[in-house]
Amino acid sequence: MKFGSKVVHGYKQTRNIQSKATPIYQTSVFSFSSLEELESYYTGESPYLYSRVGNPNTDELGQTVAGLEGAPSGVAASSGLGAILAGILGIAQAGDHLIAAKDLYGGTYHLLATELSAFGISVSFVDFANKQEIVKAIRKETKLLFSETVTNPFLRIENIAHLSTLAKQHELSLMIDNTFSTPYFVQPYKLGADVVVHSATKYIGGHSDVTAGVIIGGEQLMGKVREKVVNLGLNLSPFEAWLASRGVKTLALRMNQQARNAERLAQSLRQHNKIKKVYYPDGLSHKGNGAIVTIELVEGVDMSVFFTSLSWIKIVPSLAGVETTVSYPLGTSHRALPKEAQEELGINERVVRISVGIEEEEDIVKQFQDALSHIKMQKGSSKQ
């Protein structure tokens, strides 16, 4: 070969090297040495053809999370919402109806309330704490119940076993978003959920450096879900999958520390005179109650001073990294909700969602206590 050709083809390693860490298969396509070998993909003997259709890194992530959830199969997607969409379309089609908890993450609420109509799927939002409301909302075209293990942002614990029984009685599928809980605390598939989804951007990845989703369930249903991921272009890139797979290795260590820190922070804030209410679940798991604490400050506080006084605790529109952060649901995660839905759920300008990190618990508690001490009540407030 001449030089111009050599620089293109170089030297490719073809030996079977046993790497301790999974390599990044950063390729759009896989090569074949003959037409017979190409045909072997279509007969199922060779697993990979084109990375949108399948890649070792995305398969590793999907199957890892499936294993943690106790499910047979898992599929990686480009985001948590992508995983939710693929899961719904694997179950429902035009003319079908689903019932969702009304206290969902704002992005999920928007997807279900607005975007699904383009697929001809209708949605009813009801109070999942009230069994009769769910039953009342069931129609002959209803196919699916959807909720979250721990709801966002007020951390209501869903009764998954109860929902599973209800779903089976009415021949419905049950989908649970397990992002906040993670399989470290709760495994919804083992409690009867048919499908479990994760925004792997959060605790699965764990380091705020990846956007990804994972959906898990039975082999047959995940086959349908995989088709939706492939055909709608909801696939995850190999590098993002590799990052998330690396991050999930420390899930148990992170969740244990973050949950302990969160419980300590919640305790320290409950009696503060500038905190109206602390939301932190109880009874989620014998391992702990998660790493999110939501607070509502009293009326008349200067929220701007509170946020700017947090120093090394930054304002972000997401959660679940190793650093402690705060978010503002009214202005970010639940911004797209209709005003009446925000008011019904209790999301106002004084609600703050805290994602507790792995720092020393004394440092976290002190930072919030210091920030609260800087707040002066706004003029006209009865609390001076």
Q: Which two tokens stand for residue 239?
A: 């590098």
CATH of the domain at 94: 3.40.640.10
Q: Is residue 112 part of a domain?
A: yes
Residues 306 and 331 in one domain: yes
Distance between terminal CA atoms of the chain?
83
Q: For the ranges 37-46, 254-263, 274-283, which has the lowest average pLDDT? A: 37-46
Residues 209 and 153 in one domain: yes
The last residue of a domain, from among 191, 219, 248? 248
Q: Is residue 73 part of a domain?
A: yes
Residues 302 and 226 in one domain: no
Residues 216 and 338 in one domain: no
The last residue of a domain, from among 248, 282, 301? 248
Q: For the ranges 293-302, 311-320, 340-349, which has the lowest average pLDDT? A: 340-349
CATH of the domain at 285: 3.90.1150.10
Residues 204 and 92 in one domain: yes
Q: Please give the tally of structural domains in the chain.
A: 2
Mean pLDDT score across all residues of the chain: 95
Q: Which domain holds residue 299?
A: 252-374
Q: Is residue 293 part of a domain?
A: yes
Residue 371 to residues 47, 63, 323, 336, 368: CA-CA distances in angstroms?
Answer: 54, 43, 17, 28, 5
**Unique residue bearing structure tokens 């992002």:** 179
The last residue of a domain, from among 201, 219, 248? 248
Q: What is the pLDDT of residues 91-104, one digit of tens each?
A: 999 999 999 999 99
Q: Which two tokens stand for residue 139?
A: 């129609």
Average pLDDT over residues 27-43: 94
Residues 110 and 226 in one domain: yes
Q: Is residue 26 part of a domain?
A: no
Whether residue 335 is predicted with pLDDT greater than 90 in this model: the reply is no
Q: What is the pLDDT of residues 139-171, one digit of tens each?
A: 999 999 999 999 999 999 999 999 999 999 999
Residues 258 and 342 in one domain: yes
Q: Is residue 61 part of a domain?
A: yes
- The confidence band for 379, taking pLDDT boundaries of 50, 70 and 90, is low
- The confidence band for 380, taking pLDDT boundaries of 50, 70 and 90, is low
| pLDDT, position 296 | 97
Residues 276 and 358 in one domain: yes
Is-contact 212 241, C-beta < 8 A? yes
Distant-in-sequence, close-in-space partners of 60: CB < 8 Å, separation ≥ 6: 22, 241, 245
Q: 0.75 cut: is pTM over it?
A: yes
Q: For the ranges 13-17, 18-22, 244-248, which has the lowest average pLDDT? A: 13-17
Whether residue 325 is predicted with pLDDT greater than 50 in this model: the reply is yes
Residues 108 and 147 in one domain: yes
Whether residue 383 is predicted with pLDDT greater than 50 in this model: the reply is no
Residues 101 and 236 in one domain: yes
Is-contact 24 57, C-beta < 8 A? yes
Q: Is residue 337 part of a domain?
A: yes
Residues 293 and 336 in one domain: yes
Longest alpha-carbon distance in the chain: 84
Whether residue 68 is predicted with pLDDT greater than 60 in this model: the reply is yes
| pLDDT, position 86 | 98
pLDDT > 90 in the chain, percent = 88
Q: Is residue 172 part of a domain?
A: yes
Average pLDDT over residues 205-223: 98
Q: For the ranges 74-88, 229-243, 304-318, 366-380, which has the lowest average pLDDT? A: 366-380
Is-contact 177 108, C-beta < 8 A? yes
| pLDDT, position 384 | 39
122 φ/ψ angles, rounded to the nearest 5 degrees: -100, 155
Please state, in angstroms and rounded to a whole number, the distance separating the CA atoms of residues 65 and 13: 30
| pLDDT, position 382 | 47
Whether residue 70 is predicted with pLDDT greater than 50 in this model: the reply is yes
Q: Is residue 58 part of a domain?
A: yes
Residues 232 and 302 in one domain: no
